[in-house]
Amino acid sequence: MTAVDAVYTAVHPLLPEQMAGLGRLYENYGIRKITLDDEARQIRVEFDATRLNRAAVAALLRRQGITLQQDFMLASA
């Protein structure tokens, strides 16, 4: 397993239903940890890079109705 952190920035503050959607991301194999910084509108997702990539994680976030800015940073876990 290769743990990777990806930081995504939401365009708008998250609504309650989007916050609930973040919890459902754990149903996806490879999602390990999700941390939210409300003030900065940043969502940090730790995932298994042998199972997912940053584009796949971004797609999962978008499926929850979260509009993301195109830029994101990667940090090693």
Residue pLDDT, tens place only, 18-77 = 999 999 999 999 999 999 998 989 999 999 999 999 999 999 999 999 999 866 666 555
pLDDT, one tens digit per residue, over 43-54 is: 999 999 999 999
Q: Where are the domains of the chain?
A: 3-76
CA 35/CA 31 separation, integer angstroms: 12
CA 70/CA 23 separation, integer angstroms: 22
Number of CB atoms found within 10 A of residue 10's CB: 18
Q: Are residues 68 and 6 in contact, defined by beta-carbon separation less than 8 angstroms?
A: no
Decide yes or no: CATH 3.40.50.2000 for domain 3-76. no
